């Protein structure tokens, strides 16, 4: 057997082992996420709150309790999370918002929110009002240039 064939076989075996490892790790993470979702559903409460501010910020800058910082994995502490500063009754606190609803959360408005611990999972307008859709994303330079070029050429713009 030629040496390059041996190297090719070894690389193929390593790649197959890596794929199998990633498969099992993904399955384990999926199971853990399902358990966490069940816990969130079991502990959820509907609360009326005034949203003061919302930002994406690091965990240590968010003003969350020290117990939260202690439980957070070290790699997660440096990442930026969607944080919502709210007033619930007389108390002002910082909560972590679900990434899916962060853009739809209105600022300086009173809302009814579903909260599980310090995690906001959904937001509805007070008195059944529908919240505004998230603002349209700004077009980047490339997209604007592409549309301008297509208009000059007389072609149909790409959306």
- Digit-coded pLDDT (tens) for 90-145: 999 899 998 888 888 888 889 999 998 888 988 987 665 555 555 566 778 888 88
Angle at 28 between CA 26 and CA 32, to 5 degrees: 115
Q: What is the pLDDT of residues 46-61, one digit of tens each?
A: 989 999 999 998 888 8
**Residue 58 CB coordination number (10 Å):** 12
CA–CA distance, 16 with 3 (Å, rounded to integer): 20
Taken as a whole, the chain contains a residue count of 159
Q: What is the pLDDT of residues 3-47, one digit of tens each?
A: 889 999 999 999 999 999 999 999 999 999 999 889 888 888 898
CA–CA distance, 96 with 101 (Å, rounded to integer): 11
DSSP 7-22: HHHHHHHHHHHHHHHH
pTM of the full structure: 0.63
Tokens 């700004």, located at residue: 138
The pLDDT score that the predictor gives to residue 117 is 85
């Amino acid at each position: 057997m030629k040496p390059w064939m041996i190297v090719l076989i070894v690389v193929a075996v390593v790649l197959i082992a890596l794929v199998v490892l990633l498969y099992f790790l993904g399955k384990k993470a999926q199971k853990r996420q399902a358990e966490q979702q069940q816990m969130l559903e079991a502990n959820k409460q509907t609360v009326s709150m005034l949203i003061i501010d919302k930002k994406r910020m690091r965990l240590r800058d968010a003003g969350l309790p020290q117990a939260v910082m202690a439980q957070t994995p070290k790699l997660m502490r440096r990442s930026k999370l969607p944080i919502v500063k709210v007033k619930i009754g007389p108390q002002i606190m910082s909560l972590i918002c679900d990434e899916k609803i962060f853009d739809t959360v209105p600022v300086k408005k009173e809302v009814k929110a579903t909260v599980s611990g310090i995690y906001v999972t959904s937001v509805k307008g007070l008195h059944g009002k529908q919240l505004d859709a998230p603002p349209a994303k700004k077009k980047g330079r490339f997209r604007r240039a592409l549309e301008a070029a297509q208009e000059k050429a007389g072609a149909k713009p790409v959306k």
